[in-house]
Amino acid sequence: MRKKIVAGNWKMNKTLSEGLKLVDEIVSSSENNSVLKIIAPPFIHLASIADKLKGKEDFEVAAQNCHQVESGAFTGEVSAEMIASTGAKYIIIGHSERRIYFGENNSLLAQKVLMALANNVIPIFCLGENAADRAANIHLDVVKQQMKESLFNLLPADFSKVIVAYEPVWAIGTGVTATTHQAQGMHNFIRSEINKKYGKMVSEESILLYGGSVNAENAKELFACLDVDGGLIGGASLKAGEFGAIVNSF
C-alpha cells in the first residue's frame, strides 16, 4: 500500500512568525490522519517548524533544496547534513524553479539526490516538461531523460526511497492544472519506466505526486487517478483552509 502524501512547498514566502502561525492553522484544518502532510518552508524556518511538529506522526518537514557536496567553502549554501540536523526528513530536489532560475541540470540534480540519500533524507524529486515540450509532443521523452540522468543511476534500494513529483512547468502557478487524463497518463508512464528499470515490486511501491495548480476544487479528481499518490502544492499551501481541504479531499 503506497503512502498518501500532500506536501506544501511554501517557496520564498512567510516570515518565521507567519510560518509558525500557518503551521498551527494547517494542523487544525488537516483532519485526515491517513495522509502524510509534509511542510516545506524556507531553510531558515526548518528547525523551528520541525520542533513545532515533533511528535505529530502524520506531519513531516522538507527543505526546498540542498547543495550537492557535503560541506566546505560555499558561502550562502546549505548542506543535506545540516538539513537532516534540523529534523527535516525530506528535500525537494529539481524543482523547475531551481532548474530555470538557478541553472540546475539533470547531472547536478543526480548529485543532490545522492547527497540527500547519504544523509538519510528522502528526496522529493521534481520533473516535468514545459509548454513547448508538450506542444511538440516530446513530453514523455523529456521526463524519461530527467529520470534517466538524475535517478536511474541509483541502486534499487536507494531508488525505492525516492518520491517522484510530476510537475508540468506549464501548470505551475498558472491556474491551468493538468487534466486527470494528462496527469494519469504521465504518472502511468513514469511508473512503467520505473518498472522497466527496477522491476514490478519497486514500481508498484514508488510514490508519485502531482504538482501544478492543485486546489481544493480539483484535488479530489486528481487524487482519484490510479497512479497519483498525492500532491505537491504551491500557492494553495499558503492558505491553511485550502491546504486542509486538499488534504481532506483524499
Q: Which residues are catalytic?
A: 95, 167
Query: Whole-number minimum distance, CB 186 to ligand 13P, in Å?
Result: 15
Q: Are 61 and 39 in contact (CB under 8 A)?
A: yes
The span of 18-26, 65-73, 102-110, 232-240 binding ligand 13P (CB under 6 A) equals 232-240
Q: Is 94 in the site for ligand 13P (CB under 6 A)?
A: no
Select 183 or 203, whichever has its Cβ closest to ligand 13P.
Answer: 183
Select 115 or 222, whichever has its Cβ closest to ligand 13P.
Answer: 222
- Residue from 36, 151, 163, 233 that binds ligand 13P (CB under 6 A)? 233
In whole angstroms, what is the distance from residue 122 CA to residue 110 CA? 13
Q: Is 167 in the site for ligand 13P (CB under 6 A)?
A: yes
- Residue from 19, 211, 230, 244 that binds ligand 13P (CB under 6 A)? 211
The amino acid occupying position 42 is: P
In whole angstroms, what is the distance from residue 4 CA to residue 107 CA? 29
Chain-centroid distance of CA 215 in Å reads 16
CA angle 145, 89, 17 (to 5 degrees): 115
Q: Is 234 in the site for ligand 13P (CB under 6 A)?
A: yes
The span of 54-62, 83-91, 106-114, 165-173 binding ligand 13P (CB under 6 A) equals 165-173
Beta strands in 95-248 (DSSP E): 122-127, 163-166, 208-211, 230-233
Shortest Cβ contact with ligand 13P: which residue?
234
In whole angstroms, what is the distance from residue 49 CA to residue 86 CA? 9
- Residue from 172, 183, 207, 225 that binds ligand 13P (CB under 6 A)? 172
Select 92 or 121, whichever has its Cβ closest to ligand 13P.
Answer: 92
Q: Is 123 in the site for ligand 13P (CB under 6 A)?
A: no
Beta-carbon contacts of residue 6 (< 8 Å; ≥ 6 apart): 30, 35, 36, 37, 38, 230, 231, 233, 243, 246, 247, 250
Q: Which stretches of the chain bind ligand 13P, using CB under 6 A?
A: 9, 95, 167, 172-173, 211-214, 232-236
